[in-house]
Amino acid sequence: MPTQQIMFFATNSDLADLLDAVDQTVKLHYIVGGPSPSAINSPIVGLSSLVNIQSSFDATTKGPFYLIADSDRQFSSRTVKLTSGEFSYFFDQIENPQAVVFRRGCVFSADCLIAGELGTVSTQTSSIDLFKRISKDIKRRFKKVKSFYVGNDAYAKMENGLRLTINSRAPKTYDLRIE
């Protein structure tokens, strides 16, 4: 499957600027991806509220992901029977090929910012177009450093010693650095 992905580092301030800009150009909504006890998941209109979500991360996880789609699209779940005999419902791109996947990243500790990402594995035009629209705003507002895009606030904090990494347990030699 073709994959399109863009990885970025963003503080809450950087995300607020980015998501406000996206909200002004296109009407989107999102849901929390992954397992759910219910087959129904009410979408949240607009992306700006993603800034205030406090995610729980451990040192190696990327945190929760969100499915983003045009506001006229519905989200679907797939039903999975668990070993306990109960059912769980999964909201992912398998059932929602019109969506893109977004992970916001986070400040893991006082000295570590974990990367966020935007991506799609879908071949549907609506998903690819949405990916292009949002990634265009990321590229316009963030600085490219190697293969990552870095928000202005994250960049300033990196210059002052904040670690920018995809895994806080990785050696510091793998951190993103300004050359």
User: What integer pLDDT is reported at residue 55 of this predicted model?
Assistant: 55
Q: What is the pTM of this model?
A: 0.90
User: What integer pLDDT is reported at residue 90 of this predicted model?
Assistant: 94
User: What integer pLDDT is reported at residue 57 of this predicted model?
Assistant: 54
pLDDT in tens for each of the 179 residues of the chain? 568 999 999 998 999 999 999 999 889 999 999 999 888 888 988 888 887 765 555 545 567 899 999 999 999 999 999 999 999 999 999 999 999 999 988 776 778 899 999 999 999 999 999 999 999 999 999 999 999 999 999 999 999 999 999 888 888 898 898 77
Contacts of 79 (CB under 8 A, 6+ apart): 39, 87, 88, 89
> Rounded to a whole number, what is the distance in angstroms from the first to the last CA of the chain?
34
Report the distance separating Cα 46 and Cα 151, nearest Å. Answer: 20
